[in-house]
A = this chain, B = another copy of it.
């Protein structure tokens, strides 16, 4: 059996090897410092195979995070309605994902990295760069970076108090009440005056 030029053939092991290299590279170098070519090289495969299995670098990044939700798909209904009511729609999508144990547990594993440089890169690249920044641009808000970091700060704080510290009455609050409490905040961050 010959393996041409030392490269791995396709198959489940190859897919796993690519994912493992990708995770190591994203954690060590962040999204910006990771290349498909570099991931392919350390997995011993051709770059075309990485594209074949995972698509773009964004797709590879999401696959490496191992979350059971594609946040880009999840944001579609938030964007679709325009900026009006976007705060409420964003909260509903966010709570649907976090209230389901199947997605909360892997997301909590990512959040736990918040005090380590590699985890911080994942959070900035994953949550801010791939989810919130595109949402701000697609909603067409002015000063999207400034507005989306305010949105992020409230969502991260909600995660910390509701899911990590589990402080009552927030931890057991029905999703509708959480939405009613926070939606006006997110809406003001999206389109209200900031100064």
Contact = CB atoms under 8 A, between A and B. Distances in A.
Interface stretch (A60-68, A72-80, A96-104, A143-151): A143-151
B153 A160 contact: yes
A95 to B, nearest CB: 13
Contacts of A195: 177, 180-181
Interface in A148-177: 149-150, 152-158, 160-162, 164-165, 167-170, 177
Given A180-B194, A188-B184, A195-B180, A153 B158 contact: yes
B128 A167 contact: yes
A149 B169 contact: yes
A165 to B, nearest CB: 6
A185 interface: yes
A48 interface: no
A114 B156 contact: no
Interface residues of A, number: 38
B168 A145 contact: yes
A7 interface: no
B157 A124 contact: no
A180 B194 CA distance: 6
Nearest to A148: B167
Given A120-B164, A120-B165, 12 more contacts: A115-B164, A145-B168, A146-B169, A150-B170, A150-B181, A153-B161, A154-B157, A156-B160, A177-B195, A180-B194, A184-B188, A185-B188
Interface of A: 112, 114-115, 120, 123-124, 128, 145-146, 149-150, 152-158, 160-162, 164-165, 167-170, 177, 180-182, 184-185, 188-189, 192, 194-195
